[in-house]
Amino acid sequence: MNLPRLTMALCAALGLAGGALFTACSEDEPEPVCGNGKLEGAEECDDGNTADTDGCSGTCKKARCGDGLVWEKVEECDDGNLSNYDDCLNSCLAARCGDGYKNGKEECDDANSEDNDGCTNGCALAKCGDGIVHSGVEACDDGEKNADDGACTTKCALPSCGDGNVQPGEECDDGNLSNNDDCLSTCLKTHCGDGFVQEGEECDDGNASNTDACANDCKLAKCGDGFVQAGIEACDDGNDKNNDECTNFCALPSCGDGIKQKGEECDDGNISNYDGCLNTCLSARCGDGFVQVSEGGGSGGAGGEAGAGGAPPGPVEECDDGNSSNNDACTNGCELAKCGDGQLYVGVEPCDDGNDVDGDGCTNACTLPRCGDGIVQKGEECDDGKGAHGRRGMRRRQRRERRRLHQRLRAAHLRRRPRAEGRGVRRRQPVELRRVPQHLPEGELRRRLQGPRRGLRRRQLQQQ
């Protein structure tokens, strides 16, 4: 809007067009002219020319970035928009690699001068073979010189075991981490002792010891292989002989192993002392203190030679007291002492002449001769066995028999009543049965003993 015209309109509105107070209202103001070098009206500037490339435009506006006019020596460009992804940035600088904005043919733009990151200084994405080592990604990058058999592989990696390329110092390289194929993860060919069980191997413990569970030929340790397995075998001579210094069970020979060794009479492999072979590996014999119950010591045990550990047949003994005395209960022939064996059993036999002659100084009952024994001895005219000693002995036997029958008779009458009747109190015996005369004949005692029993049975049948 023109300022003089605005002033005149204001004066007219106030009714002051003819007044003397504001003479300015009656004067005519000239319109401002851009480019006359004078700052007039709404002009921001007026440099006296109409050029658009200096600090004041041809419309008398101050030059600014984004007005679409290139200010010489100040702006490189000015496309009048707000985009940073064309050829001119919002800062009125021409787009270039490193400005932080991906423009034109740029693959990337990280706004730095670092050449070893993901975006090179040429605004290209880092890649193997560009000749620039991408930090943290590539170990090397020789550009066109990369080669699998060179100092830097085509994968921009330094040569190493497992890259699939056989390098100097490697026996093989199959490019994997498996230790169960022909090439180990260490790039060495598989072999017995590498610590990995391969086809054809029973075991592989990776050491040079032959005394553990796996031998150096990668075979499982076993008895008979010639190597003593520590903690398991006592010996191992690698042969199949049982009667040498090491048995077929890889054990040192010992009494009781069932194998007859040097210095042993027998070895039946058991702990019994009552067969033909003792625990001391000596053959059983009369006087060893053990009563033999079988006639032989058995075989030599498993793995032994035929008959090697067996004991010779041993006699079946009646007794064996392990001493040399013939005058106790067991003779030196390991037979029970008996009358007529010719050995005096001390404390039991007064004599024993070992014959069947009654008329000598010792009877066949191993008693000394005496009058009344029923045997006519030297110096006796007769002996009918009824002498004083014979009669007294018979009376003693009769008295013992009567006492025994008397006790049985009393016991037959001693019964308990039923609980409901007698409450467990012994029934009182009849008067005639309480006392049994001691002088009764044996036949009368037996008759009385049978009588109460028959009566008791009859009463039991009546109660039922």
What is the structure's pLDDT at 298?
Answer: 45
Other C-beta atoms lying within 10 Å of the C-beta of residue 190: 20
Task: Quote the tokens at residue 78.
Answer: 């000015």
Give the C-alpha separation, 235 to 233, whole Å. Answer: 5
What is the structure's pLDDT at 458?
Answer: 54
CB 163 within 8 A of CB 149: no
DSSP string, 334-370: S-B--TTSSS--TTT-S---SS--SSSSS-TTS----
379 phi-psi bin (left φ>0, alpha ψ -120 to 50, beta other) = left
Cβ-count burial 365-393 (b if 16+ within 10 Å, e if not): ebeebebbbebebeeeeebeeeeeebeee
Give the C-alpha separation, 32 to 277, whole Å. Answer: 149
Give the C-alpha separation, 235 to 223, whole Å. Answer: 9
What is the structure's pLDDT at 27?
Answer: 53
Number of residues written out for the chain = 464
Q: Which amino acid is at 120?
A: T
Other C-beta atoms lying within 10 Å of the C-beta of residue 166: 17
- Sign of the dihedral defined by the CA atoms of residues 352, 354, 356, 362, in that order: negative
What is the structure's pLDDT at 235?
Answer: 94
- The candidate with the shortest Cα–Cα distance to 104, out of 87, 80, 89, 121, is 87
CB 240 within 8 A of CB 226: no
- Bridge partners (DSSP) of residue 220 are 214
Give the C-alpha separation, 11 to 17, whole Å. Answer: 6
Q: How far is CA 402 from the centre of its chain?
A: 79
- The candidate with the shortest Cα–Cα distance to 72, out of 45, 58, 53, 92, is 53
What is the structure's pLDDT at 318?
Answer: 87
What is the structure's pLDDT at 202?
Answer: 94
Positions of E strands within 356-410: none
Give the CB-side neighbour count of residue 338, counting CA atoms within 13 A: 8
pLDDT digits (tens), the chain, 464 positions: 444 444 555 545 554 444 444 444 445 667 888 888 888 888 889 888 988 888 898 889 999 999 999 998 899 999 999 889 999 999 999 999 999 999 888 999 999 989 999 999 999 999 999 999 999 999 999 999 988 878 898 889 988 898 888 888 889 999 898 898 999 999 999 999 999 999 899 999 999 899 999 999 999 999 999 999 999 999 999 998 888 889 999 999 999 998 898 889 999 999 888 888 999 999 999 999 998 876 554 444 434 443 445 555 555 888 999 998 888 889 988 988 888 888 888 888 899 988 888 878 888 888 888 887 778 887 787 877 765 555 566 666 667 766 776 666 656 554 433 444 444 444 444 444 445 555 556 566 555 555 544 555 555 555 54
- Report residue 453: phi and psi, to 5°: -65, -45
DSSP string, 199-233: TT-S---SS--SSSSB-TTS-B--TTSSS--TTT-
Task: Quote the tokens at residue 146.
Answer: 């990369």
Give the C-alpha separation, 164 to 185, whole Å. Answer: 11
CB 303 within 8 A of CB 242: yes
Task: Quote the tokens at residue 422.
Answer: 């007698």
Give the C-alpha separation, 94 to 129, whole Å. Answer: 31
Other C-beta atoms lying within 10 Å of the C-beta of residue 402: 17
Give the C-alpha separation, 412 to 211, whole Å. Answer: 83
Give the C-alpha separation, 23 to 17, whole Å. Answer: 9
Give the C-alpha separation, 375 to 357, whole Å. Answer: 11
Give Dmax over CA atoms of the chain in angstroms: 217
Place of tokens 């319109």: 31
- The candidate with the shortest Cα–Cα distance to 257, out of 300, 312, 306, 297, is 300
213 phi-psi bin (left φ>0, alpha ψ -120 to 50, beta other) = alpha
| Cα distances (angstroms) measured from residue 187 to each of 168, 194, 196, 368, 389 | 11, 12, 14, 107, 115
Helix ranges (H only) for 123-257 are none
What is the structure's pLDDT at 433?
Answer: 44
